Amino acid sequence: MSNYVDSIVEYINKKVNVKLHSTALILGSGFFKFLDYVEEKEELYFRDIPNFKVLGEDIKENKFVFGRIKNKDVVIVLGRIHFNYGYETSDIANLIFILKELGCDNLVISASLGSLNPKIKVGDIVTATDHINFTGRNPLYKCDYNKYGNLFVDMLSPYGVKMIDTLVRAAKYELGLKVKKGVIIEFNGPSVETVSESRFSKLIGADFTGFNVVNEVIASKYCGLPVVLVGLITNYGSYFSENGVKHEDIVHNRAYASNYYLSLIEKVIEKL
């Protein structure tokens, strides 16, 4: 898809009146109710965009949603591109490049995460200050969309410090919530980490686990798109979970916390 980034952006701009200086938002699975917060919505399915790679079940629902939240223009990615669904990490990068070329100034990433830190509980809001990439992959590998410069990207401060501050303040003063900071580690999935992998992750400094976020952030760092992770802890890592990690428990915990979690995302976009 790298060869088609510019043509995809051109197509989107012909179909939708995309506003410059929008905030981009990648919605994690199960958070589709957030669209209720969006006004003046325009939708464009991935499947309808020439040369946009979309696989399997994603063909039915993955789309861009353009609109406004609290007088702020937004570009929402509904249904992220998961490596473990059969995509390449370069496909993840190209999605980020498309957001950048559409004129987005910053990126908010939402995700369900698993805790590796006893001080971080199910239902907590977290954000990453750094990450550990154990996927064994990099979204810039063989990247041929190199308009942003040298691919040897400095990964010091991959997450936007000012955006993290905005998140923490919005949570505290608008909703009375505490955001816990930490380090995210990622494996490929779709299986969760083993007990040994969970224990090892904690030993090397990780506080929570996730899928896909790290590769999105690396691509964002390369193209100069400041990013913040707004994560929801929906489960404990295998090392801390006596009964294992069950998907139905994740779905239940995500639904239970969705109201305050989605309200926080709205507040963050408003304050950026």
Q: What pLDDT sits at residue 242?
A: 63
What are the structural domains, with CATH classification, of the chain? Answer: 2-271 (3.40.50.1580)
DSSP designation for 170: H
Residue range 60-107, pLDDT digits in tens? 788 999 999 998 999 999 988 877 777 888 899 999 999 999 999 999
Identify whether the C-beta of residue 32 lies closer than 8 Å to the C-beta of residue 78: yes
What is the per-residue burial (b if ≥16 Cβ within 10 Å, else e) of 210-249? bbbbbbbbbbbbbbebbbbbbbbbbbbbbbbbeeebeeeb
Q: What pLDDT sits at residue 59?
A: 73
Residue range 202-246, pLDDT digits in tens? 999 999 999 889 999 999 999 999 999 999 999 887 777 666 666
With H, G, I as helix, E, B as strand and everything else as coil, classify residue 181: strand
d(CA 206, CA 192) in angstroms, rounded, equals 15
Residues of the chain with pLDDT > 70: what percent?
96
d(CA 68, CA 4) in angstroms, rounded, equals 27
DSSP string, 39-71: EEEEEEEGGGSTT----TTHHHH-EEEEEEETT
Q: What pLDDT sits at residue 244?
A: 63
Identify whether the C-beta of residue 49 lies closer than 8 Å to the C-beta of residue 99: no
With H, G, I as helix, E, B as strand and everything else as coil, classify residue 185: strand
Q: What pLDDT sits at residue 241?
A: 67
Whole-structure pTM value: 0.94
Residue range 4-46, pLDDT digits in tens? 999 999 999 999 989 999 999 999 778 888 999 999 999 999 9
Residue 1 has pLDDT above 60, yes or no: no
